Structure formats: structure tokens, C-alpha cells
Amino acid sequence: MSDIQIDRTTQIRIGEPPPAFQPGKNLDDFAKKSKALWRAISYARTPVVIRSSAVDAPNTFANFAPLSSDALGFVPITLAVDSADGTWTALPSIPFEFVLTGKGGMAFVSSQHSNHEGISIRLDPDAGQMHLRFALNYSGLNVKQTLEYVSFCQALAQGGELRITGRHPITGGDLLIARGGLPQEAYEGPDVRFVEVLNQLVLIQSKTGVSFTIPEGDISGEEVRTIAATTHILKTGHASYKAEPWVSTSSIEQAKSAIASFERGAPLQTALHFQEQTVVIFGTQVPLGPVTFFCDRTYITEEDMETAKRNIKAANPEGKVSIRLTPFEDCPIEARYINWVPVEESVALRQLPIYKEDSPNTGDIGSASLNTQANEQQQGREQMNALTEPALTEDEREDEFEQYLAAKGVITLPDPSTEDDAEDEWEPVTVTGKPLSEMIIEERR
């Protein structure tokens, strides 16, 4: 946490952060990107047909033709693309129905009751041709499954060899149904931004345990930004927001203390802490956990200061007062999500007093407590000093424990000065007769 100082005026807040600090809505990190990257994403549903020549379909007709479709039922088939760069992309075990098309031709059509509907393979072994037609509808599919389909479509667009494999309808053994070359750029392929968003959604789903399905219609530009921002937070635990004023609600005494701190004239370092932040993706709430927003230079405008003073004067002693804080325009709001930052940074964050005080009993939902800078600095220094002090040796720990027992009255420690004098005056006692070792040896004989 080397980029954030610990000595700050601190706010501890229970509830959701202000709208200005929602991922994707106000992010400096993403504001510099081209607006074209944030436009809505439409995943095409128009049918795509890819023709392949020089098709090898060894004995496929002889293996399947003698059996009726009723006898076969739905045959699990794997479609795989072996790209020129050696990449292998597959859609495994898709249920297909085998259909004879006449004149030695055959087709495999995906189940009309599965999410794979819209895939059909037509083979003409005599002509050495294969037609692959697909028009996938992703809506309602889990994002991980959708990514598998989209990755396969990407591989088809890049070209290579298409291999269709399954099980022998009689023996159940592995069977090469057909294979044929795929021309490069036979079709445009899926939108690369859609592929990126799917990868991000799979990561969010994996890290948070929240499941996502593809919605009907387009993915809006706002959702694209939210997904990208949430992914960045889960990867790094960091976010940077544009400087915007925010309103905090506090008790009368705490508000007076804050007003006194800001009346000194100099801008203050502040931290705005929340026990929980959630983000909404495709209508589903995604928990991000505790978050603290840091700003190096914050002030209260004269107008807001006068308003706060009037509110304090008019409020009941047990009431609440809202105070509007304003960051400098050139001072971004740095956010730290403790559940997602690196381990060493998490350890340092958990030593902050704001995390020591973070409990459900801090206040009402939507309320905040404002602590003075002096108290916060002192607590922060004590916590950080404890982290940086060298570890005690074994002897030092024993001495410390003896001092603790003595303070409790359990033991009495000797006077150090008397003990030193006794050690200086000690002399060995001279005795006559045989040495003790010889006496023991004689006894044993």
C-alpha cells in the first residue's frame, strides 16, 4: 500500500457507496479509451454457411445408412477445428439426428430441443463436399458455455481443418465421421469485443460465484463498461474514480469535529469506507465486499460549510447532519477493495483503524462517522509501527512474559541490582576428601 498514506481524516460508512463511485460509471482508468469500445454489442444471429471441399468421410454412409433415425436416436458428435497454428478448438458431445438426404447424401441436424439448435452438417461423400450451417442463439445460455461456442466460431473463421467425430452406432467405438479443409476468412467471425466481454464475465462468475446468462437483445455500452471495470477490480483490487463531491451523514458531535478540522484552511486527506459495495450486471447483483475510497486533498466549500453549520445548529442533539465534501479536480479518488488486493496490501489495509471499527453496530444504514485527523493519525501510526517493529527473540519473549506475571502479582522478580552484586561476590566452596566422581565409581565396583 505504498501509494496511499495511512494518516487521514477517516469516514466509516455503513451501506452502499454514492452513485459517483459505481464501477463503470465514473472511472478515470477507462475514460481515456475510445468511445467506440463502449458502444453496444450485438451478437449476430444470421445463418452462416461454410462449404468445405476435398472432404474425407470414410465409411460414414455405410455405418449410418442401414439404421433408421428412430433406431439411432440422437447421436453425440464432437466438432473440432485444427487451426493452422496448431490450436485445437472443440464443441464436444452435441446431440445430432442422422438424416438421409438421397443420392448417397446424409445430414446431421442438432436437436430442436437443445441450445445447439441451428447447427446442421450436410455431407456428400461422392462429391467430396461438406456444408456446415449454423445460426446460434446465445440468449439464455450461461456465459461459459457461450464462450465455448463463440471460440469455436472464431476458429472456424480462421480456417484450418474441421473434424467431425463420434461413436460407432453399433460397436460404440471412436469413429471419424468426416474431415475437410476450412478456407480462411470464410466469414467475418464473431465481434472480438463480444469475445472479450465473455472472457470477462467468465472471470467474474468464477471469482464471485454469481452465475450469468446471456440476455435477450444487445449488451449496452454501459454494461460493457461495468463488466470491464468489475473485471479490473477483481484482478487488482484497485480502481480510480474521477473527483466528484460526495455527501456524508454523521452525528452532531462527529460533524462538529469534522467542521473544526476543515476550518483550519488546509485540504485534508480523507478516506471513505463502506462495508459492502455491489454492482449490477445483467440485472444480477455482484458483491465486491468492503471498499475504501482515498483522496489526498479534500475540502468543504464556503457555501457547504455555512450550510453544514446551519444544519448542525438546527438539528436535534441526537439527530444526523449531512456534510458535502469536495475533492480537488486534479485529485482522483483511489479505491481499494480489500477482498481483491494482493495479500501483502490486504494485510496492511486491515491494520487501518477504519477496519478495526468496521462492524454492524457502527451506525444506521446510510450513516457515517467522521473522526478527527489527529486521532486517526495516532491510531494509524501505532498500527503501522506494530507492523514494522522487529520480532522479539525467545529470551525477550520470556522476559516480557515474566514482567506481565509480576505486574499481575503472580510472581515476584528479584531486585536486578541485588542480583548483580550476588553474582559478583560468588566464590566456589573448597571441600576436602576424594572427588565425588571417584566415590561414585568405587561404589559401582
Q: Are 354 and 10 in contact (CB under 8 A)?
A: yes
Q: Check residues 345 and 251 and name the one with the higher pLDDT.
A: 345
High-pLDDT (> 70) share of the chain, %: 70
Nearest CA to 248 out of 259, 240, 264 is that of: 259
Nearest CA to 163 out of 274, 83, 258 is that of: 83
Using the structure block, give the residue that is written with the C-alpha cell 472443440: 90
List, for residues 184-213, the tens digit of each pLDDT value.
877 778 888 999 999 999 999 999 999 999
The whole-angstrom distance between residue 303's C-alpha and the CA centroid of its chain comes to 40
Confidence label for 29 from pLDDT (cuts 50, 70 and 90)? low
**In the 8-state DSSP scheme, what is residue 219?**
B
Decide if pLDDT at 138 tops 90: no
Angle (nearest 5°) at CA 408 between 404 and 409: 115
Least confident of 131-135, 273-277, 282-286, 392-396: 392-396
Q: Check residues 149 and 375 and name the one with the higher pLDDT.
A: 149
High-pLDDT (> 90) share of the chain, %: 18
Decide if pLDDT at 407 tops 50: yes
Position 418 scores a pLDDT of 57
Residues in contact with 325: Cβ distance below 8 Å, sequence separation at least 6, in sequence order: 245, 246, 247, 248, 270, 298, 299, 300, 304
Whole-angstrom Cα distance, residue 297 to residue 416? 53
C-alpha torsion sign, points 297, 365, 206, 41: negative
| Residue 55 backbone dihedrals phi, psi, to 5 degrees | -85, 135
